[in-house]
C-alpha cells in the first residue's frame, strides 16, 4: 500500500473512532484504536471532548500508554496523569526515552517524581536524573542518551556484528541510521563514522582509520532556539552533544527538533492572540474564559487610553464633526503597518538574525518604508477625501497625519519586540497589545492635533 493510502486510511480510522464513540461501540473501537500509531492516538485524544477522552483511554492497551503520554500536549497529558497512581504511571513510562520521561516528570510534584524513579532500574534512573539536571530550554533536556558509541580500535566487522546481534535481540535498530560516535577511554568524543562508510569500507578496517575528525557538536547548555536554526541551516539528521569537559553524553535527533519547531510555532500563534500556550482546545468554558480574560482586560485599558486621546480633542470634534468619520482610517493604517514591521522583526529574532550590528539598519529601513507608504497611501486617501467632501484642507490634514503615523508605527513595530526581549517579556504575548495601543493613540493624536492646528 502506498504511503499516501496509509495516511488516508489512518484519517478514516480516526474519523470512524470519533463518530462511533458516542454510539458506544467498544469492541471495534478497542481493536482499531490499539492498531494506530501512538502519535495518531494522541491526536485523537486531543481532538476529543473530555468525556470521550476518558472512554478512549480505558480502551487503550497499557503497553501503549507511555508512548501516547509522550506524544500528548502538556495540559492533555496532565488530564490523564492525574487519574493514574504511581505504580501505573511508572509502568507506563518504563520504556520511554530519557528526555521524554524527564519532560513528563517535570509536570509532577517532587514526591511523585521520587516514587516514579524508585520504580525504575538504576540505569534508567541515572539517565533521567542526568537529563533533569540540565536547565529547561537547553539541549540537555532534549538529548537521547541511549546511543551507540564505539572504541576507535574496533574493526568495522566487529561493529556490524554488534548491530546484527542487537537487531536479532530487540528487532529494533537505533535511529536515525546516519552515524555512530567514537569515544576514547575516558568518554571524550574524538570522531564520528557515517553508516555509509561502515557499509562501503573493507570489514577489516579499523574505526580509527575511517572516522571523521571534523564534525559539528552541540554543547549541552546550548539554547533550544539555536538548535532549530542550526539544524535548518546545515540540514542535520542528528548531532552529538558534549558537556563542558568534552565528554559525549548523547545525541540530538531531527524528530526532537521537529517537535520543538511545531511546539514553538503553536506557542507563537497562541501567544500573539494572548492565549496560554498550554491551553487545551477542549478545556471547559470557565477554564478557557480565565485564560483569555487577562489580555482582554489589558486591551480594555489600552482602549481607554485611545479614548482619552479622542476626548482631549472633543472641542475640535464638535467643530468639525466629519473628523469622527475619518479618524479610524489613520489608526487602522498605522496599526496594520506596525503589525507588518513587528511580524518581520519577530521572524528575524526567531532566526537569530537580529544583532547589535544590524538593528540600526533595520530600523532605518523600516522608517524609509513607513515614509514611502505614507506618501503613497496618504496621497491616494487625500484625493478620495477631496472628491468625497470637497475639502482640500481636510484632505491635506489626513494625508499628513497618515504619513506621520505610518512612519512612527513601523518604528514602533520594529522596536517593540527587541525592547520586550530586553526586559524578558515574551514579545508574541505583549507586543500586539502594546503596538495596537500606541498606534491608535499616536494616530488619533496626529490626526486631531493637526486638525486642531489647521481648523482653529
328 and 408 share one domain: yes
**Is the confidence at residue 141, as pLDDT, over 90?**
no
Instruction: Report which of residues 152 and 268 the model is more confident about.
Output: 152
Q: In terms of domains, do 112 and 169 share one?
A: no
Q: Is the dihedral of CA 402, 405, 411, 413 positive or negative?
A: negative
Res 427: pLDDT: 76
In a domain, 279, yes or no: no
**What nine digits make up the cell of 415?**
522596536
Q: Is the pLDDT of residue 334 over 80?
A: yes
Q: Are the beta carbons of 432 and 272 closer than 8 angstroms?
A: yes
Residue 143 lies in a domain: no
| 240 and 290, same domain (yes or no) | no
* Lowest model confidence (mean pLDDT) among 57-61, 65-69, 114-118: 114-118
Q: pTM higher than 0.85, yes or no?
A: no
CA–CA separation, 431 vs 416, rounded Å? 6
Q: Which residues pair with 212 in a beta bridge?
A: 192
Classify residue 237 as left (phi > 0), alpha (psi -120 to 50) or beta.
alpha
- pLDDT at position 217 is 93
Q: Are residues 159 and 198 in the same domain?
A: yes
Q: Which three cell numbers stand for residue 185?
A: 577511554
**Same domain? 52 vs 16:** yes
Taking residues 425-429, what's their average pLDDT? Answer: 71
341-352: burial string, b at 16+ Cβ within 10 Å, e else: bbebbbebbbee
pLDDT tens, position by position, 276-285: 545 565 666 6
Q: Mean pLDDT over residues 298-313, rounded?
A: 70
What's the chain's average pLDDT?
80
Query: Which tens digit of pLDDT belongs to each residue from 201-211?
Result: 999 999 999 99
Same domain, 123 and 167: no
Exposure pattern of 216-244 as b/e (b: 16+ CB <10 Å)? ebbebebebeebbebbeeeebebbbbbbe
Q: Is residue 139 included in any domain, yes or no?
A: no
Of the residues 245, 272, 299, which one is the last residue of a structural domain? 272
Q: Which of 281-285, 330-334, 404-408, 435-439 has the lowest mean pLDDT?
A: 281-285
* Residue with more model confidence, 12 or 392: 392
Percent of the chain scored above 90 by pLDDT? 20
435, 292: one domain: yes
The pLDDT assigned to 170 comes to 59
Residue count (the chain): 456
Around 386, how many Cα atoms within 13 Å sit in the side-chain half-sphere? Answer: 12
Asked if residue 5 has pLDDT above 50, the reply is no
Let me know whether 52 and 108 are in one domain: yes
For residues 22-44, average pLDDT:
76
Instruction: Classify strands 248-253 and 238-242 as parallel, antiparallel or unpaired.
Output: antiparallel
Are residues 317 and 264 located together in one domain of the fold?
Answer: no
Q: Which domain holds residue 109?
A: 3-134
Instruction: Name the residue with higher pLDDT: 262 or 354.
Output: 354
* CATH number of the CATH domain containing 68: 1.25.60.10
Tell me the sheet residues that pair with 241. Answer: 218, 250
- Do 142 and 256 contact (CB within 8 A), yes or no? yes
Amino acid at each position: 500500500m502506498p504511503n499516501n493510502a496509509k495516511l488516508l486510511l489512518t484519517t478514516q480510522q480516526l474519523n470512524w473512532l470519533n463518530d462511533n464513540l458516542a454510539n458506544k461501540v467498544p469492541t471495534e473501537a478497542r481493536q482499531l484504536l490499539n492498531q494506530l500509531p501512538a502519535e495518531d492516538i494522541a491526536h485523537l485524544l486531543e481532538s476529543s471532548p473530555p468525556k470521550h477522552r476518558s472512554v478512549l483511554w480505558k480502551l487503550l492497551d497499557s503497553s501503549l500508554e507511555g508512548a501516547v503520554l509522550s506524544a500528548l500536549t502538556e495540559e492533555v497529558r496532565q488530564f490523564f496523569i492525574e487519574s493514574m497512581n504511581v505504580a501505573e504511571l511508572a509502568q507506563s513510562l518504563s520504556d520511554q526515552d530519557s528526555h521524554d520521561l524527564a519532560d513528563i516528570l517535570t509536570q509532577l510534584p517532587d514526591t511523585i517524581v521520587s516514587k516514579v524513579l524508585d520504580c525504575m532500574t538504576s540505569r534508567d534512573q541515572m539517565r533521567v536524573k542526568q537529563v533533569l539536571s540540565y536547565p529547561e530550554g537547553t539541549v540537555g533536556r532534549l538529548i537521547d542518551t541511549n546511543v551507540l558509541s564505539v572504541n576507535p580500535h574496533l574493526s568495522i566487522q566487529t561493529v556490524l556484528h554488534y548491530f546484527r546481534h542487537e537487531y536479532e535481540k530487540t528487532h529494533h535498530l537505533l535511529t536515525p541510521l546516519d552515524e555512530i560516535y567514537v569515544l576514547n577511554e575516558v568518554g571524550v568524543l574524538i570522531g564520528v563514522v557515517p553508516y555509509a562508510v561502515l557499509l562501503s569500507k573493507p570489514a577489516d578496517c579499523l574505526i580509527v582509520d575511517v572516522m571523521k575528525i571534523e564534525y559539528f557538536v552541540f554543547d549541552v547548555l546550548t539554547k533550544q532556539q539555536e538548535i532549530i536554526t542550526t539544524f535548518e541551516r546545515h540540514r542535520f539528521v542528528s548531532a552529538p552533544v558534549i558537556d563542558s569537559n568534552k565528554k559525549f553524553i548523547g545525541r540530538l535527533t531531527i524528530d526532537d527538533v521537529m517537535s520543538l519547531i511545531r511546539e514553538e510555532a503553536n506557542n507563537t500563534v497562541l501567544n500573539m492572540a494572548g492565549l496560554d500556550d498550554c491551553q487545551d482546545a477542549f478545556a471547559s468554558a470557565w477554564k478557557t474564559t480565565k485564560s483569555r480574560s487577562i489580555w482582554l482586560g489589558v486591551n480594555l485599558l489600552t482602549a481607554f487610553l485611545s479614548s482619552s486621546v479622542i476626548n482631549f480633542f472633543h472641542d475640535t470634534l464638535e467643530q468639525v464633526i466629519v473628523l469622527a468619520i475619518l479618524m479610524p482610517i489613520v489608526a487602522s493604517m498605522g496599526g496594520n503597518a506596525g503589525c507588518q514591521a513587528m511580524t518581520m522583526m519577530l521572524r528575524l529574532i526567531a532566526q537569530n538574525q537580529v544583532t547589535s550590528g544590524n538593528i540600526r539598519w533595520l530600523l532605518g529601513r523600516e522608517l524609509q518604508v513607513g515614509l514611502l507608504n505614507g506618501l503613497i497611501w496618504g496621497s491616494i486617501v487625500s484625493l478620495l477625501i477631496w472628491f468625497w467632501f470637497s475639502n482640500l484642507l481636510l484632505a491635506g490634514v489626513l494625508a499628513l497625519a497618515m504619513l506621520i503615523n505610518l512612519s512612527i508605527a513601523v518604528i514602533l513595530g520594529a522596536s517593540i519586540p527587541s525592547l520586550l526581549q530586553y526586559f524578558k517579556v515574551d514579545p508574541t504575548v505583549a507586543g500586539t497589545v502594546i503596538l495596537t495601543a500606541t498606534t491608535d493613540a499616536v494616530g488619533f493624536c496626529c490626526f486631531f492635533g493637526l486638525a486642531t492646528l489647521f481648523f482653529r
